[in-house]
């Protein structure tokens, strides 16, 4: 998890140079990360279509066979093509974290802006509630949800959104407070703009760099947590292709001398998470710089 | 912060991983392992007795033990733990024959069985085993109020009564030549009446414990730590002197943890079966692997009362489409036989020549995809879906489910899966609600003693405890009922053999493979029983250190 | 002023625990079907057992009354009975508590020593040390604990045989050996954040004016580090270490499962898989209480170390 970086009070300056500026300041690491993320995203959409072989049909006689003609990563414990399963698995492996991020951001931003705008007792109540929500670590809530609603991606994703929401809200509340105290807000209020419109049209967009940065880093956490939940058998259920599931399914092979299927899935997770971490930190740095 | 240095380093790490992994994987076309042992030769029923004392041995079973009450024992972990500490009226020897246990038996008439308790038999607490204890234990098995699993084996019993200071007589309505075998197994386990009545519902649970007569007694039972048994200092059979002071029966569901445990010595021994990397253990320096004649059958239980699998043609098709050789090499690493009957040839505990002759005449259940597809279209089942109950946490079940998926897809059937956790898999067997909507599920199942009829009756008789699909065939029923009342072992064998041949055509269950009985021991240990009798009779009497 | 802060923190603590326990209890009613179905985990239980469940959970009484009974029982150590094991949940927890506690403590030790140590190293010696610490932590942060677990088992347990692969061991000494690989797997992903924050905090302090002054006055380095840099850097370091260690409690479940340890987390997962709701609620309650307590202790330490806190409201 990344540190909650306090955003210092600052004047607003629009992000220098837009996308071009982003690319320029991203550096090689940032570009490669963005590329990796792009590839993963594309695969999440078309993965099952581009898989060269059937990712679901077992063929026991081919179990654990290594890379050979056309099967670049060999076969898994049930004789299914590993590469095809990785490509097909990108979908559930990426959509889960996406849902978590969207959920946590939507809720967190709404609460943060509300608390910052109204301030006073409402702010205290919301802050207190958020502090209480911190009592639930993400995985614990996901396990509880699985016990109550049955194992599956939906329950786990909702649980993780709820668990991540306080972190988002805490960071964004600070930023929203600072935005609120900017002179342009007072000017808009004097002009008769409603609270909602000021929030939606000015405060939230000005916090966008921070929100995007937070979302990016959070995607990495969500990916790790959801893969863990699937590894425990409480998330995506086998035999559905999913990177976390593939690690637990092919775990026995590692001790038998066939580490490739499990490792390949693990590498996919690690690569995507590193990419999101690197990109997220770049975006955080930019968000900070933009406020100085 | 030089983040740009992260990238090449990360790339290097990944490249290293890839290189490490890429070299590994077996080549297609060659079997995953050499055949371990020919599954019919070199089988042993015992191992050389241990000679030195050992402080503690951890024994692994595939999941934690649920209960120590024999009336609820119908699965490997429970049987393994109970047979270690408890004894039954009669005893199953490692070679499958039935010998006197806590009692000897005499048959003054075809419908009377007289059990005479051996002198000096006593429980762990020193109290003598009385006929009242025997009657209580058997009644507990029979009485539906207790909800025990073995009530049906007493179906021909008229009465059980104390008939002497150390004598119990069972009167039968009809001759029953299977009852002796059952009483050498879980249904015949003798517990102390006063202890059991005192514990009531808690008997056999961690709260209540048990009171038995065996060479090991229960010391502690904690969820997660397993069952700890220590040598019974008051064991009535002074000829037996166990050398291992403490045995911990521990549930290990994860094949990976099991393998590392055996390799590092954390696990001293196990009867774990369906281990796909068995050869890895056999070739390791720290483990010795033995195979004994198997009595269990790896089969696909048909639980569908309607739908595609209710048709015998579809069942035959599925059986013809199954790639059994792949199961033998991938799931059992060679330690299994191709099936001809539902019964494992290791169950021929009597009438051996009759059984073997009939068995050799029966065809092997091989693969024939063309015929299979024809049968499916004849039955009009092409395109229909079957639902298979499975668990992804038990590697052998997951793999075999995959084999059935493969077979079904190859003949035009679709497959849906109903997955549960490893601990819940047993519910498919016990809970009709769990079986709802499920057309079948994999099992590695067994009869209570060495007789092909023992397992078959539970499957095909209308009252059978494992007859989940309401299977009923008058001819089969007649053959088995007749066999039950036939005194001469060879005649009985002939009837049972006919029943098996019929069942192999009707396929109430689809036999997959016939596993041998695998025993794995750390090289520092020897003496455990190597045959399937470990499930029903004490198996650690001769266990001890080597040298 | 300090007392006001303490009182407020204590109130937050109690409120958190109450709400958490309410949510955990309420989960029973969120489950599809009725509470009886949820408690039996969807199994067909005999009528007598169902009556026992109804009685034990006071299911014929209003919701809040039920919650009160449950909470009251829990405070007295009675957390119900496990459907699958037929054992007292409290007995199940007591038997496994020490494994999880030991694992978390061991991992915490590794995080503190290695994490803080490498952070200080990176901050005070820029160049190769700094870069390698950054790179290693970046990669280790992205490796999920279960992947780390598998790799550790393969290399250190099977290939090298240095550590056992499964189980808990029987004596104190073998316990430590058995918990080493799991503790490393657990600590790995948290090392990054602790090292990073340590590095940032120490760097910041090292650049401070009073430290520069001390350097120019010729005060020896070690004294400098201890007296000036670390003491001020202690605040963010303690905070992040505390938060990280608290989060170990949840991730321990994954590591325990991968290493087949009989800890609370592993059993929580198994109970969730078999839908043994009483066990899930009981263990969740224990873990959440531990988590909240550790966080509260971290906040208290923060208050003790940072004199500014006692004086005014904390900056959120």
Write down which chains contact chain A via at least 3 CB pairs under 8 A.
B, C
Mean pLDDT of B159-187: 95
Asked if the model's pLDDT at residue C51 lies above 80, the reply is no
A 4-23 residues inside an 8 A Cβ radius of B: none
Q: Which residue of A has its CA nearest to C279?
A: A147
Residue pLDDT, tens place only, C245-262: 888 988 899 999 888 787
Nearest CA among A28, A77, A90 for reference residue A239 = A77
Provide ipTM, 2 decimals: 0.83
Asked if the model's pLDDT at residue A2 lies above 80, the reply is no
| Least trusted range by pLDDT, from B17-21, B145-149, B416-420, C205-209 | B17-21
C 61-100 residues inside an 8 A Cβ radius of A: none
Mean pLDDT of C216-236: 73
Q: Do C315 and A270 touch (CB under 8 A)?
A: no
HSE (side-chain half, CA atoms, 13 Å) at A286: 29
Its sign, for the CA torsion B99, B103, B107, B111, is: negative
Q: Which of A120-124, B469-473, C129-133 has the highest mean pLDDT?
A: B469-473
Q: Among B28, B260, B327, whose Cβ lies nearest the Cβ of A65?
A: B28
For chain B, say whether A271 makes contact (Cβ under 8 Å). yes
Residue B207 to chain C, least CA–CA distance (Å): 7
Spatial distance between the Cα atoms of B476 and C95, rounded to a whole number of angstroms = 51
Q: Among A29, A60, A260, whose Cβ lies nearest the Cβ of B403?
A: A60
Spatial distance between the Cα atoms of B240 and B540, rounded to a whole number of angstroms = 10
- What's residue B25's pLDDT? 62
Residue of C167, C168, C268 best to disrupt the B interface, most CBs of B under 10 A: C167
Write down which chains contact chain B via at least 3 CB pairs under 8 A.
A, C
Q: Which residue of C has its CA nearest to B60?
A: C167
- What's residue A260's pLDDT? 86
**Tokens 């590329």 belong to which residue?**
A35
Confidence of residue C83 (pLDDT cuts 50, 70, 90): confident
Residue pLDDT, tens place only, A268-281: 998 999 899 888 88
Q: Among B7, B24, B256, whose Cβ lies nearest the Cβ of A32?
A: B7
Q: Which residues of chain A does C24 touch, with a Cβ-Cβ cutoff of 8 Å?
A: 144
Q: Which residue of C has its CA nearest to A276?
A: C142
Q: Among A1, A150, A231, whose Cβ lies nearest the Cβ of C254?
A: A231
Mean pLDDT of B298-316: 95
Average pLDDT, chain B: 89
**Tokens 């009886």 belong to which residue?**
C36
Q: Which residues of chain C does A247 touch, with a Cβ-Cβ cutoff of 8 Å?
A: 146-147, 150
For chain A, say whether C233 makes contact (Cβ under 8 Å). no
Q: Which residues of chain B does C90 touch, with a Cβ-Cβ cutoff of 8 Å?
A: none
Residue A232 to chain C, least CA–CA distance (Å): 7
Residue B14 to chain C, least CA–CA distance (Å): 10
- What's residue C133's pLDDT? 86
Q: Which residue of A has its CA nearest to B414?
A: A57
Q: Do B261 and C167 touch (CB under 8 A)?
A: yes
Asked if the model's pLDDT at residue A254 lies above 60, the reply is yes
- What's residue B375's pLDDT? 94
Q: Which residues of chain C does A169 touch, with a Cβ-Cβ cutoff of 8 Å?
A: none
Q: Which residues of chain C does A173 touch, with a Cβ-Cβ cutoff of 8 Å?
A: 316
Q: Among B3, B27, B326, whose Cβ lies nearest the Cβ of A60?
A: B326
Cα–Cα distances (Å) from B415 to B307, B376, B383, B404, B405, in that order, read 13, 14, 10, 9, 6
- What's residue A8's pLDDT? 34
Spatial distance between the Cα atoms of C5 and C313, rounded to a whole number of angstroms = 8
Cα–Cα distances (Å) from A93 to A142, A245, B21, in that order, read 16, 9, 22
Asked if the model's pLDDT at residue C69 lies above 70, the reply is yes
CA A266 to the chain's CA centroid: 17
Q: Which residue of A has its CA nearest to B404?
A: A58
Q: Which residues of chain C does B207 touch, with a Cβ-Cβ cutoff of 8 Å?
A: 86-88
Cα–Cα distances (Å) from C200 to B411, C134, C206, C298, in that order, read 64, 11, 10, 20
- What's residue B13's pLDDT? 52
Residue A60 to chain B, least CA–CA distance (Å): 6
Asked if the model's pLDDT at residue A33 lies above 70, the reply is yes
Bridge partners (DSSP) listed for residue B103: B117
Confidence of residue A18 (pLDDT cuts 50, 70, 90): low
Tokens of residue B467, six digits: 């007859």
Q: Do A147 and C146 touch (CB under 8 A)?
A: no
For chain C, say whether B323 makes contact (Cβ under 8 Å). no
Residue pLDDT, tens place only, A40-51: 999 999 988 999
Residue of C27, C181, C240, C316 best to disrupt the A interface, most CBs of A under 10 A: C316
Cα–Cα distances (Å) from C193 to A74, A162, C190, C236, C315, in that order, read 36, 23, 6, 11, 21
Q: Which residue of A has its CA nearest to B6?
A: A29
Confidence of residue B212 (pLDDT cuts 50, 70, 90): very high
Q: Do C84 and B427 touch (CB under 8 A)?
A: no
Identify which has the larger pLDDT, C125 or B59: B59
Q: Which residues of chain B does C162 touch, with a Cβ-Cβ cutoff of 8 Å?
A: none
For chain C, say whether B4 makes contact (Cβ under 8 Å). no
Q: Which residues of chain A does B276 touch, with a Cβ-Cβ cutoff of 8 Å?
A: 63, 252, 256
Q: Do C150 and A247 touch (CB under 8 A)?
A: yes
Q: Do B423 and C139 touch (CB under 8 A)?
A: no
- What's residue C278's pLDDT? 85
Q: Which residues of chain A does C277 touch, with a Cβ-Cβ cutoff of 8 Å?
A: 147-148
A 29-88 residues inside an 8 A Cβ radius of B: 29-30, 32, 57-68, 74-75, 77-79
**Tokens 């991992």 belong to which residue?**
C107
Residue pLDDT, tens place only, C14-48: 888 888 888 888 888 887 777 777 777 666 666 77
Spatial distance between the Cα atoms of B99 and B429, rounded to a whole number of angstroms = 31
Asked if the model's pLDDT at residue B186 lies above 50, the reply is yes
Bridge partners (DSSP) listed for residue B287: B522
B 420-459 residues inside an 8 A Cβ radius of A: 421
Q: Do C147 and A147 touch (CB under 8 A)?
A: no
- What's residue A17's pLDDT? 47
- What's residue C29's pLDDT? 81
Residue pLDDT, tens place only, A87-112: 999 999 999 999 999 999 999 999 88
Tokens of residue B240, six digits: 């037996």
**Angle (nearest 5°) at CA C82 between C80 and C86:** 110
- What's residue B263's pLDDT? 81
Residue pLDDT, tens place only, B354-393: 999 999 999 999 999 999 999 999 999 999 999 999 988 8
**Tokens 């496994």 belong to which residue?**
C96
Asked if the model's pLDDT at residue A200 lies above 70, the reply is yes
Mean pLDDT of A228-257: 86
Q: Which residues of chain B does C153 touch, with a Cβ-Cβ cutoff of 8 Å?
A: 256, 260
Residue B363: CB partners within 8 Å, gap ≥ 6?
Answer: B340
Spatial distance between the Cα atoms of A288 and A167, rounded to a whole number of angstroms = 18
Bridge partners (DSSP) listed for residue B167: B116, B164
- What's residue A12's pLDDT? 35
Sheet of B269-270: strands edge to edge?
Answer: B216-222, B226-231, B244-251, B54-61, B269-270, B517-522, B287-292
Residue B55: CB partners within 8 Å, gap ≥ 6?
Answer: B244, B245, B246
Q: Do C288 and A277 touch (CB under 8 A)?
A: no
Its sign, for the CA torsion A237, A242, A248, A251, is: positive
- What's residue A6's pLDDT? 35
Asked if the model's pLDDT at residue C316 lies above 60, the reply is no
- What's residue A4's pLDDT? 39
With 0.90 as the threshold, say if the pTM is over it: no
Residue pLDDT, tens place only, B34-60: 445 555 667 899 999 999 999 999 999
Nearest CA among B107, B160, B158 for reference residue B132 = B160
Q: Among C86, C259, C267, whose Cβ lies nearest the Cβ of B224?
A: C267
Q: Do B24 and A258 touch (CB under 8 A)?
A: yes
Cα–Cα distances (Å) from A55 to A218, B77, B435, C259, in that order, read 29, 35, 28, 29
Spatial distance between the Cα atoms of A126 and A115, rounded to a whole number of angstroms = 6
Residue C160: CB partners within 8 Å, gap ≥ 6?
Answer: none
Q: Tell me if residue C119 falls in helix, strand or coil.
A: helix
Q: Among A228, A255, A278, whose Cβ lies nearest the Cβ of C158?
A: A255
For chain B, say whether A263 makes contact (Cβ under 8 Å). yes
Tokens of residue C36, six digits: 């009886």
Q: Which residues of chain C does A134 touch, with a Cβ-Cβ cutoff of 8 Å?
A: 16, 295
Q: Do A57 and B409 touch (CB under 8 A)?
A: yes
């Amino acid at each position: 998890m990344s540190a909650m970086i306090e955003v210092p009070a600052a004047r607003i300056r629009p992000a220098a140079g837009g996308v071009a500026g982003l690319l320029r300041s991203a550096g090689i690491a940032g570009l490669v990360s963005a590329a990796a993320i792009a590839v993963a995203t594309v695969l999440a959409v078309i993965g099952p279509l581009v898989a060269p072989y059937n990712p679901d049909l077992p063929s026991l006689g081919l179990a654990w066979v290594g890379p050979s003609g056309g099967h670049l990563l060999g076969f898994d414990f049930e004789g299914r093509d590993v590469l095809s399963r990785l490509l097909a698995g990108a979908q559930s492996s990426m959509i889960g974290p996406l849902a978590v991020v969207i959920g946590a951001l939507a809720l967190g931003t709404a609460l943060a802006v509300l608390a910052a705008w109204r301030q006073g007792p409402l702010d205290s109540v919301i802050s207190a509630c958020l502090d209480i929500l911190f009592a639930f670590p993400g995985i614990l809530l996901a396990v509880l949800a699985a016990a109550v609603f049955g194992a599956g991606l939906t329950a786990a994703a909702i649980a993780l959104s709820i668990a991540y929401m306080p972190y988002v809200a805490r960071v964004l509340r600070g930023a929203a407070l600072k935005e609120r105290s900017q002179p342009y807000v007072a000017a808009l209020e004097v002009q008769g703009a409603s609270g909602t419109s000021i929030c939606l049209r000015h405060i939230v967009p000005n916090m966008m760099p921070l929100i995007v940065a937070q979302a990016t880093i959070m995607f990495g956490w969500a990916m790790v947590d959801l893969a863990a939940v699937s590894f425990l058998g409480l998330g995506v259920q086998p035999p559905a292709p999913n990177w976390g599931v593939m690690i637990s399914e092919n775990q026995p092979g590692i001790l038998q001398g066939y580490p490739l299927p499990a490792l390949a899935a693990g590498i996919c997770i690690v690569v995507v998470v590193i990419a999101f971490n690197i990109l997220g930190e770049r975006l955080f740095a930019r968000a900070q710089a933009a406020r100085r | 912060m030089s983040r740009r240095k992260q990238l090449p380093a990360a790339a290097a790490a990944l490249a290293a991983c890839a290189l490490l992994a890429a070299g590994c994987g077996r080549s297609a076309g060659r079997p995953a392992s050499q055949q371990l042992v020919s599954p019919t030769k070199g089988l042993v029923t015992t191992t050389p007795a241990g000679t030195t004392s050992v402080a503690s041995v951890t024994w692994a079973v595939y999941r934690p033990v649920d209960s120590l009450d024999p009336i609820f024992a119908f699965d490997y972990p429970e049987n393994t733990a109970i047979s270690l500490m408890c004894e039954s009226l009669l005893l199953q020897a490692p070679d499958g024959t039935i010998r006197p246990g806590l009692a000897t038996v005499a048959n003054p008439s075809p419908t009377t069985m007289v059990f005479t308790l051996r002198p000096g038999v006593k429980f762990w607490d020193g109290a003598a085993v009385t006929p009242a204890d025997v009657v209580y234990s058997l009644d507990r098995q029979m009485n539906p109020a207790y909800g025990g699993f073995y009530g049906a084996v007493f179906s021909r019993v008229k009465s059980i009564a104390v008939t002497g200071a150390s004598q119990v007589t069972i009167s039968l309505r009809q001759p029953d030549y299977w009852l002796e075998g059952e009483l050498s197994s879980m249904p015949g386990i003798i517990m102390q009446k006063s202890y059991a009545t005192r514990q009531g519902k808690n008997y056999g649970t961690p709260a209540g414990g048990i009171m038995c007569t065996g060479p090991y007694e229960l010391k502690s039972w904690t969820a997660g730590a397993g069952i700890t048994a220590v040598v019974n200092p008051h064991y009535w059979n002074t000829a037996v002197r166990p050398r291992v002071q403490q045995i911990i029966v521990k549930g290990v569901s994860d094949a990976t943890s099991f393998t590392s445990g055996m390799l590092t010595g954390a696990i001293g021994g196990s009867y774990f079966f369906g281990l796909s990397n068995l050869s890895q253990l056999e070739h390791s320096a720290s483990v010795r692997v033995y195979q004994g004649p198997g009595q269990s059958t790896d089969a696909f239980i048909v639980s569908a009362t309607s739908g595609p699998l209710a048709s015998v043609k579809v069942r035959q098709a599925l059986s013809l489409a199954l790639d059994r050789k792949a199961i033998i090499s991938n799931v059992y690493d060679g330690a299994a036989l191709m099936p001809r009957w539902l019964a494992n040839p290791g169950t021929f505990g009597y009438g051996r020549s009759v059984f073997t002759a009939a068995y050799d005449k029966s065809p092997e259940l091989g693969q024939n995809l063309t015929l299979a597809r024809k049968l499916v279209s004849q039955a009009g089942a092409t395109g229909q879906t079957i639902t298979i109950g499975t668990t992804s946490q038990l590697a052998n079940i997951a793999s075999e489910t995959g084999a059935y998926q493969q077979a079904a897809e190859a003949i035009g059937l679709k497959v849906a899966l109903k997955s549960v956790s490893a601990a819940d898999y047993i519910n498919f067997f016990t809970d009709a609600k769990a079986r709802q909507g499920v057309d079948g599920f994999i099992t590695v199942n067994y009869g209570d003693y060495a007789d092909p009829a023992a397992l078959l009756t539970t499957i095909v008789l209308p009252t059978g405890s494992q007859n989940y699909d309401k299977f009923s065939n008058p001819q089969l029923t007649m053959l088995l009922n007749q066999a039950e009342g036939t005194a001469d072992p060879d005649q009985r064998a002939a009837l049972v053999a006919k029943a098996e041949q019929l069942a192999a055509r009707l396929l109430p269950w689809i036999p997959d493979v016939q596993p041998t009985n695998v025993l794995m021991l750390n090289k520092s240990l020897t003496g455990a029983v190597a045959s399937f009798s470990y499930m029903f009779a004490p198996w650690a009497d001769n266990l001890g250190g080597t040298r | 002023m300090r007392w006001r802060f303490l009182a407020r923190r204590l109130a937050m603590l109690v409120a958190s625990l109450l709400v958490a326990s309410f949510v955990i209890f309420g989960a029973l009613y969120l489950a599809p079907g009725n509470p009886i179905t949820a408690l039996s985990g969807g199994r067909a239980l005999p009528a007598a057992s169902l009556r026992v469940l109804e009685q034990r959970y006071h299911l014929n009484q209003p919701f809040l009354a039920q919650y009160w009974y449950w909470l009251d029982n829990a405070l007295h150590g009675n957390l119900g009975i496990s459907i699958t094991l037929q054992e007292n949940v409290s007995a199940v927890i007591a038997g496994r508590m020490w494994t999880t506690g030991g694992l978390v403590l061991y991992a915490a030790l590794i995080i503190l020593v290695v994490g803080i140590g490498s952070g200080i190293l990176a901050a005070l010696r820029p160049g190769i040390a700094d870069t390698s610490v950054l790179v290693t932590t970046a990669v280790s942060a992205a490796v999920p604990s279960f992947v780390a677990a598998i790799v550790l088992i393969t290399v250190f347990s099977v290939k090298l045989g240095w550590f056992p692969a499964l189980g808990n061991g029987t004596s104190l000494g073998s316990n430590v050996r058995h918990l080493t690989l799991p503790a490393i797997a657990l600590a790995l992903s948290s090392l990054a954040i602790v090292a990073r924050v340590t590095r940032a905090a120490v760097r910041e302090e090292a650049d401070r004016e009073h430290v520069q002054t001390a350097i120019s006055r010729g005060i020896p380095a070690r004294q400098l580090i201890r007296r000036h840099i670390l003491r001020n850097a202690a605040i963010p370091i303690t905070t992040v270490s505390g938060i990280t260690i608290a989060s170990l409690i949840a991730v321990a479940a994954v590591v325990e499962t991968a290493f087949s340890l009989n800890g609370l987390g592993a059993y929580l997962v198994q109970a969730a898989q078999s839908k043994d709701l009483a066990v899930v609620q009981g263990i969740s309650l224990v873990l959440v209480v531990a988590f909240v307590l550790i966080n509260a202790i971290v906040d208290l330490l923060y208050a003790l170390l940072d004199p500014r806190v006692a004086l005014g409201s904390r900056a959120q």
